[in-house]
Structure 1
Amino acid sequence: MKAFVMESGEWKLKDMPEPLAKSEEVVVSLKAAGINRRDLGLIKRYGDNPEAMIVGSDGAGIVESVGEDVIDFAAGDEVIINPALRWYTNSEGPPVEFDILGMPDHGTFAEKITVSAEQLEKKPHYLSWEEAGSLALPALTGYRALFTKGQVKKGDTLFIPGAGSGVATFLVQFAKNIGARVIVTSRSEEKRQHAQKIGADRTIATDSDWVEEMADETIDLVIDSVGGATFNRSLDILKKGGRIVIFGATTEDTVDFNLRQFFYGQYQLFGSTMGSREELRDMLDHMESYNMRPVVDKTYSLDQAQEAFDYLASGNQFGKVVLKISE
């Protein structure tokens, strides 16, 4: 089968062996797979390893075959893949067994994949393959950050630095669904306009003075994945006793901040990563109840995977970049 892999420090398209289902496993013939920023950084972690590793965490497709002791799925079922491995119930943090699909296990940028049956959920019937294949990782990440950690509620004002990421597009829609007010930033006027189209109440330029721009706002919750470039700026506009949730760091991984200012302000800081199967199922129920759809920016074929990676790395996308693997 055709797959997009890391091998000897390079990305390449390569023929890989057809997967087989062992006991409690399922082979899925993939239709689409979403690219995440996590995928871009894996080659640094994998290094010069000569063994080909299939990347990709998100995907949707049709069950081709099932192994022994699989009772919940059968050939022909339309499914999405839960990339959060071995995290079943909502908890304060992930269990030690938790990992993310797509290294060290083979991932979804291939024509087929073998996964444990417990990692499958029925595909939401109203979504296209491209929408379903780009869903799980960013939507689950946003859902846990917003609801489990951020405890957002109707009437809160949510601030999101950066409007264009897949997670940000889910955050905007989730928050608006429950009646929160949403403010986002972007350097791009086009992205700010897109954010308003999916529900953002207010958009501001990233390089503006946030304190001055939002002097008339009360920010209850910040959800930030930018990191060092925005952390202190976000803290400056957060109300006393407000909450800030961090789920990524696309800029600096480390940040200095004033502890005295922090504890006098009685701010609340939370880390968040992905989420449990319980939260994934709650998220799917939420989406279906609001007929909510992922925002898909561009779709590429598997043969164009390197081009798709380059586009995501450019930061020009608004929403998800997706590989269409088969018709």
Structure 2
Amino acid sequence: MKAVIHHGPSGLGGLRISDVKIKQPGLGEVRVRLKAAGLNHRDLFLMEGRQATDRPLILGSDGAGIIEEVGKGVSDHMVGNEVIIHPTIGWERTEEVPVVPEILGGPMDGTFAETVVIPAGNAFRKPLYLSWEEAGVLPLSALTAYRALFTRAQIKAGEHVLIPGIGGGVATYAMLMAQAAGAVVSVTSRSEAKLVEARRYSLHRAFSSDGDWNEELEGEKVDVILDSIGPATFSQYLKVIKPNGRIISFGASSGDTVDVPLRALFFPQLSWIGTSMGSREEFAEMLQFMEKHRIHPLIDRMYAIDETRSAFQRMMAGEQFGNIGLLFG
């Protein structure tokens, strides 16, 4: 089968399309023939961190397709089911956070291939209202957004949620989910084109990340900030968040180290909370939430598997608004 492999040089230099052997499902596993898959920034981080001595890895955490074969202990009735793949392996219960969860696409082979073998419990029914493209790009980003908003931030209707750096998959899911939950949503971006696109979604405010946030919000404070950026914008958060507010960090696109004056945290009683991905329980809840509110993933562009390098180049350039994905024949 055809697959997107990373092997050799770090970064995009090690990316290649190869023919690999189709794997057989083992005990408790199923093999899914992929219809579509989604790119994540996680794929780029993995490629940058890999060494020439590392084994070849099939990338990709997101995907949706049709079960074509099952292993021992799995009902034959699952064959033919249209499914969406939960990418986190072995994280069952929300409160039992693993030290390092196993994820499809690293360390396990992932979804950028014509087929993938996964535990049967990680195959969820594809919501009928979603197209294959929408289902394929949904899993990891939507799960991350759901956990950040509802498990960690515990947002409530009427609260003001600020999402800096709108445009990527997690941020656009969070925007749609928070609005569906009745929150007031504002966003920032350095790109005027992305702000223009974001304003199509009935936002409270959409303004430049480079400006004075207090001025842009006209002195209005926010309850929750979803942080995927880190040091480049963190000082702004402390100026616009309400006392007892929550900063939820799930990314670090501008670096890992943030210099925070502790008094700015403890005097206003702020909560700074980390989050990443999510459990099987949360994945089921996320799908139910999406289906209840008929939320459609925002798709920026879909590529053929042979165009995977171009897809990643678009992601690296930060040009997308929504999800970038791959389509399989």
Following the alignment from structure 2 to structure 1, what is the Cα–Cα distance between the partners of residues 191 and 78?
46
Among all aligned residue pairs of Structure 1 and Structure 2, give the percentage whose two residues are the same amino acid.
Answer: 45
Alignment of 1:275-286 (within 5 A): 275-286=278-289
Describe the shift of the 1:183–1:72 C-alpha distance in structure 2 as closer, same or farther (beyond 3 A). farther
Unaligned runs of 5+ in 1: none
Matched, 1:160 2:166: no
Give the aligned partner of residue 129 of structure 1. Answer: 132
Q: How does 1:108-187 map to 2 (within 5 A)?
A: 108-187=111-190
- 2:35 maps to 1:59: no
Give, in angstroms, the shift of residue 97 of structure 1: 6.1
Alignment of 1:262 with 2:254, yes or no, is: no
Tell me whether 1:209 sits opposite 2:218 in the alignment: no
2:7 is matched with 7
TM-score where L is the length of structure 1: 0.97
SS at 1:257 equivalent:
coil
Which letter maps to 2:120? A
Matched residue SS, 1:269: strand
2:74 alignment partner, SS class: coil
Q: Which residue of 2 aligns with 1:34?
A: 38
d(CA) in 1 for partners of 2:299, 2:77 = 28
**Deviation digits for residues 199-225 of structure 1, max 9, x if unmatched?**
422101111101222233120111110
Q: Is the 8 A contact 1:86 1:97 kept in 2?
A: no
Q: Which residue does 2:199 correspond to in 1? A: 196
Distance in 2 of aligned mates of 1:278 and 1:197: 32
Greater shift in the superposed pair: 72-81 or 58-67: 72-81
Q: How many Å separate the matches in 2 of 1:71 and 1:153? A: 41
3-state secondary structure, aligned to 1:265: coil
- With over 3 angstroms needed to count, the CA separation of the structure-2 counterparts of 1:140 and 1:73, relative to structure 1, is farther
Question: What do the CA deviations read for 1:19-65 (whole angstroms, capped 9, x no partner)?
Answer: 11111110100010000000011122221136321000000000010
- Aligned twin of 2:239: 236
List structure 1 runs of 4+ shifted beyond 6 angstroms: none
Q: Quick check: 1:173–1:199 contact (8 Å CA) kept in 2?
A: no
Structure 2 counterpart of 1:312, one-letter code: M
Equivalent position amino acid for 2:218 in 1:
A
The equivalent of 1:224 in structure 2 is: 227
What is the alpha-carbon distance in structure 2 between the residues aligned to residue 76 and residue 270 of structure 1?
Answer: 41
Aligned to 2:249: 246
| Deviation, structure 1 residue 96 | 3.4
- Aligned partner letter, 2:217: M
Distance 1:156 1:73, change over 3 A: farther
Q: Could you tell me how far apart the structure 2 residues matched to 1:202 and 1:43 are?
A: 36
Size of the aligned set, in residue pairs, is 325
Paired letter, 2:242? K
